Amino acid sequence: MKGLLLKDLYMAASYCRSFLLLVVVFLAVSFFGDDSLFFIVYPTLIASIIPVTLISYDERDSWTQCSGTLPYSRGQLVSVKYLIGLLFGCVSLVLSLIASVVRMQLRHSFSLEELCFLASALLVLGVLGPGLLLPFIFKFGAEKGRIVFFVMVGFLCVISIVAAGLGVQTALPAMGYTWTLAVVAAVAAALYALSWMLSIRFYEKREL
């Protein structure tokens, strides 16, 4: 498993270098930008697609077949992408939160509530993308998997519109921001774990 992690870190260092630079620039800009959270949220979005990007490169380079000849189980081959997702997700989450604290301090407007809200939003954004996309990619491959994912996103948009109509967004702040963060973190962890298990099951059945 260490070998797989090392290989993905080498690949991330090579292919995702520009992403990492972008993360630093965006966070730096967020200190001095307007009130928009875009520059703080965007790095997490970028980090969340790194595992998917790596899988696309794996397929292009025929690593998918090569890895099938090595002494790794299908579960390990899947797990390494989830671990990479966690690693980059956590790093970007922490960096975004630090940047956010610095931004608030510069404006003398520190707010724990706002920080909790931001952390919840980043968790949802960081987990939702790979959590939903990866099982499709492990089942259908990077290209077909992406198409299925976009169909799913459309479906989720419809659900969120319906949820908004039912007043779910007003119910969350009523729980208190720290509780909201706890609930969101628990749901995100559950979703990620479920996605992880599903991906292993799909990949075990896939022919390489």
Interface residue with other proteins among 68, 98, 152, 193 (CB under 8 A) is 68
Biggest CA–CA distance in the chain, Å, is 57
* Count of C-beta atoms within a 10 Å radius of residue 202: 19
Region from 6-14, 31-39, 117-125, 163-171 binding other proteins, contact rule CB under 8 A: 6-14
Token couple for 146: 């992406």
* Closest C-alpha among 107, 88, 76 to residue 196: 76
Which residues, in sequence order, are CB contacts of 111 under 8 Å at separation 6+?
104
Q: How far apart are the C-alpha atoms of 49 and 144, rounded to whole Å?
A: 16
Alpha carbon distance 44, 93 (integer Å): 6
Q: Count of residues binding other proteins (CB under 8 A)?
A: 28
Give the span between the Cα atoms of 82 and 59, in whole angstroms.
17
The Cα 40–Cα 103 span in angstroms is 10
Q: Nearer Cβ to other proteins, position 156 or 208?
A: 208
- Could you tell me the smallest distance in angstroms from the CB atom of residue 23 to other proteins? 20
The yes or no reply on residue 139 touching other proteins (CB under 8 A) is no
Is the Cβ of residue 13 or residue 152 nearer to other proteins in the bound state?
A: 13
The answer to whether 96 contacts other proteins (rule: CB under 8 A) is no
Say whether residue 133 binds other proteins (CB under 8 A).
no
Which residue, 62 or 178, has its beta carbon nearer to other proteins? 62
Residue 18 in contact with other proteins, rule: CB under 8 A:
no
Please identify, using beta-carbon distances, which residue of 9 and 156 lies nearer to other proteins. 9
Q: Which residues bind other proteins (CB under 8 A)?
A: 2-4, 6-7, 10-11, 14-15, 57-58, 60-73, 205, 207-208
